[in-house]
Structure 1
Amino acid sequence: MKDPIFEGEAAITGIGTSIPPNRLEQHEVFQRIEESCQTDEHVMRWARRIFRQCGVDTRYTCEPDFLAEAGTCRYMPGEDGRLVPTTSERMELYRKESVPLALKAAEEALADARLDPAAVTHLITVSCTGQFLPGLDARLVHELGLSLRVNRIPLIFQGCSAGLKAIQLAKSIVESDATHVVLVVCVELCTIHFQPPSSREALFGASFFGDGASACIVRSVSNGEEHMFRLGKGQSVLIPGSEAEMTWKVGDQGFDLFLSPAIPKLLRTFLREEVQHLLDGRTLPHLWAIHPGGRGIVDAVQDMFALDDSQVFFSREVLRRYGNLSSATILFVLKQMRENLILHGENQAHGISLAFGPGLTAELLAFSYAANTEMLEVSGKDAAYV
């Protein structure tokens, strides 16, 4: 018998990711900030601390201007009176750059699932870093060759947890009708909202957010599937009294982000109970796909559940190589996890995925990995889970 907590009727059967071409080295970003803030030692003390502790080595950006010297980069203006880009300028950059990134990730997910685009019945697009109409969903329909009757569902401005929320929504859609096939596409251009580094809040955004896109195919489990993540029980929780701990507002010069340093501490107050509720008394699984919203968040989850370093490796590695990609990040983590399971010839394993966003909101989803559909037949009987 299958375990309904970990093994539902829907599965992720294809994953794709993409990043823009402009690579940001953390020491170079810090150097530019230092050059633009030479007269403000208070800001520089925070910058040194944040960049040293954030757990990021490299990130990627769609904005080549970030590769320019501090004196010429519009996002880090010097004393020559140059204006920081307006919100409308940033939204135009988003409109131009988001579609190619999203398209590449979607194409990779379709190819990975060996799926004809015409088979997609539902398209869920996710983003919190930009908007335009006709939107990303409409552009993808035409660019990918999806049916003009595909059911389009945009999830807009919901923050880092929205990627896992979209997967849970896709799961519900597939479980309502086994013929439904859902394409989830997340794209975030976080760096276009870089603010002049004049405060601790602005430095958080400058230190660990990057750009990227991810996509996945969610459909009913069927014979012939390989290397799938079968989606189990999921839940969402809104934490009372935490509304001010993570905010994301539209300003005149981009979106203004605030992240409280108390977030890891808040996670410790409620997350254990939520995980216990999700698992309904079962032992903790081996696989942990944690959204790396920052090093402190991964640290908190690891300490809380006494996880070893291998269990949080993929979250830390994605953070180190790409930074926090907001909603797109969780599929980067799942993709790296799946590649490792394939590399080591694992047949099956149980897991849990966690993501956090404004609210504070926590999304939790239990899942199981299966190398092929034959492994599903022994699940819950004599299977030895990793």
Structure 2
Amino acid sequence: MGAYITAIGTANPANRYSQEDLAQFMCDHLTEDANQHKKVKVLYRATGIKHRYSVLDDYKKQPGTFTFYSNEENLSPFPSTQKRMNIYRQEALPLAISAITDCLDNNHQLSEFTHLITVSCTGMYAPGLDVDLIKALNLASDIRRNSLNFMGCYAAMNAINLSKEICDNSPEAKVLIVSVELCSLHLQKEQTEDNLLAHSLFADGAAAVVVSGQLQKNKPALEVMHSASQLFISGQNDMAWQIGDFGFEMALTSYVPKIIEGGIQKLTSDLLAKNNLALTDIDAYAIHPGGKKILEAIENQLGITKTQNHQAYEILKNHGNMSSPTVLFVLNQVWSPLKSQPNKKILSFAFGPGLTLESLLFKTV
């Protein structure tokens, strides 16, 4: 018995923006004075992000030609949750299909999938994305479906854990995981500290993963070994996500890196103990780049260098934080140069509302 990742694919929307241009959009439309302008631009520069993607094209349009935001002063009235969900329903499917297309090759046939797991926290409707994917890709009508919704940035880890349980119990299973997030739909008008921080980090993206209960001959794979999780109730108000009248509202405080810093050593120790391993046995890291300070906190606690963690910084720099698909972008980059090297161990982390710390251990085979 076992569970093996055999392919990972990623995708972003067509609209790519520089961090400077996004900061300027905020200054032009949602800040009140020169002091706020300066604060926004300093915050955006400090993220370590150069570019982000969005399904929205308003950020490259001239005022008066917006189609998502209002063309009135200060973008009022702000887009309703209904309008945002209509765009989510329109844009999530093609972005998910792009990630699946990037994931599959001649060794993966859509008809072979026995299970479909969809992951998202930035939109919902029913019948949902899972049903739309079955229709669009002509997947089997009796495919087993699971949807992990509203779990935030760590949800892809739980999807992998679920796929492992499926494959451990049914070795013939082949699971397709699809994670898609359209974070940019949820820009908030009120310039609170939480909103400013969220607006400077989040972006849109999708990832797809194939998990099989059996190895394919002469094909590289990542064995899903063990996981560990830690919930810090004391941080439940420092990272949260709820539905408001004008999109989804995030609570994201500057204390999150400190909470992660305080729990990452125990989480790591618990996971390594399950495998009789030490930190020195780890060959590579795939860490969700929730923000630069989070990456630095983990490095400080575990003694990891920025060089060892460079893939997380690259994804943050070129994509921003895309919520749940982000760690899969990182894992894909980490795994790629190791595909010809067996028995390399990859330690992965992701974090989200709760405050939740998730970890997974992989081995190249």
> What TM-score comes out, normalization by structure 1 length?
0.88
What secondary structure, in the 3-state scheme, does the structure 1 residue paired with 2:135 have?
helix
Between the aligned partners of 2:19 and 2:75, the Cα distance in structure 1 is 26
Which 10-residue stretch deviates more, 70-79 or 345-354? Answer: 70-79
Equivalent pair of 1:75/1:196 in contact (CA under 8 Å): no
Matched, 1:293 2:290: yes
Between the aligned partners of 2:160 and 2:94, the Cα distance in structure 1 is 22
Between the aligned partners of 1:115 and 1:81, the Cα distance in structure 2 is 46
What secondary structure, in the 3-state scheme, does the structure 1 residue paired with 2:324 have?
helix
Between the aligned partners of 2:349 and 2:23, the Cα distance in structure 1 is 30
What secondary structure, in the 3-state scheme, does the structure 2 residue paired with 1:39 have?
coil
1:373 match: none
User: CA shift at 1:154, angstroms?
Assistant: 0.6
Deviation string, structure 1 residues 222-257 (Cα, Å, up to 9, x no partner): 241423111101122211311101011111111111
Matches within 5 A, 1:28-177: 28-37=21-30, 39-69=32-62, 73=66, 75=69, 79=73, 82-111=76-105, 114-177=107-170
Deviation string, structure 1 residues 170-200 (Cα, Å, up to 9, x no partner): 1111011101111100000000101226222
Deviation string, structure 1 residues 287-346 (Cα, Å, up to 9, x no partner): 11101111111111111111122221111111111111101111111111122335xx54
User: CA shift at 1:38, angstroms?
Assistant: 5.5
Which 10-residue stretch deviates more, 124-133 or 63-72? Answer: 63-72
Equivalent pair of 1:248/1:258 in contact (CA under 8 Å): yes
Percent identical among aligned pairs is 35
One-letter code aligned to 1:299: E
Equivalent pair of 1:26/1:51 in contact (CA under 8 Å): yes
User: CA shift at 1:221, angstroms?
Assistant: 3.5
Q: CA RMSD in A?
A: 1.9
User: CA shift at 1:75, angstroms?
Assistant: 4.4
2:233 match: 240
Between the aligned partners of 2:231 and 2:49, the Cα distance in structure 1 is 28
Between the two proteins, the alignment pairs up a number of residues equal to 360
What secondary structure, in the 3-state scheme, does the structure 1 residue paired with 2:152 have?
coil
* Residue among 245, 252, 256 paired with 2:245: 252
1:23 match: 16
What secondary structure, in the 3-state scheme, does the structure 2 residue paired with 1:310 have?
coil
2:360 match: 365
> What TM-score comes out, normalization by structure 2 length?
0.93
User: CA shift at 1:358, angstroms?
Assistant: 0.1
One-letter code aligned to 1:256: E
Unmatched tracts of structure 1, length 5 or more: 1-7, 371-386
> For the structure 1 residues 212 and 223, does the alpha-carbon distance in structure 2 shift closer, same or farther, using more than 3 Å as the test?
closer
User: CA shift at 1:111, angstroms?
Assistant: 2.0
Equivalent pair of 1:246/1:258 in contact (CA under 8 Å): yes
What secondary structure, in the 3-state scheme, does the structure 1 residue paired with 2:94 have?
helix
User: CA shift at 1:96, angstroms?
Assistant: 0.2
User: CA shift at 1:107, angstroms?
Assistant: 2.7
1:375 match: none
> For the structure 1 residues 325 and 120, does the alpha-carbon distance in structure 2 shift closer, same or farther, using more than 3 Å as the test?
same
User: CA shift at 1:46, angstroms?
Assistant: 3.1
Matched, 1:266 2:263: no
Which 10-residue stretch deviates more, 293-302 or 32-41? Answer: 32-41
Equivalent pair of 1:70/1:76 in contact (CA under 8 Å): no
What secondary structure, in the 3-state scheme, does the structure 2 residue paired with 1:124 have?
strand
What secondary structure, in the 3-state scheme, does the structure 2 residue paired with 1:133 have?
coil
* Residue among 303, 307, 317 paired with 1:306: 303
> For the structure 1 residues 82 and 241, does the alpha-carbon distance in structure 2 shift closer, same or farther, using more than 3 Å as the test?
closer
Between the aligned partners of 1:147 and 1:108, the Cα distance in structure 2 is 20
> For the structure 1 residues 81 and 140, does the alpha-carbon distance in structure 2 shift closer, same or farther, using more than 3 Å as the test?
closer
Between the aligned partners of 1:327 and 1:273, the Cα distance in structure 2 is 23
Between the aligned partners of 1:60 and 1:225, the Cα distance in structure 2 is 36
2:330 match: 333
User: CA shift at 1:215, angstroms?
Assistant: 0.6
Which 10-residue stretch deviates more, 158-167 or 217-226? Answer: 217-226
Matched, 1:321 2:318: yes
What secondary structure, in the 3-state scheme, does the structure 2 residue paired with 1:140 have?
helix
One-letter code aligned to 1:212: G
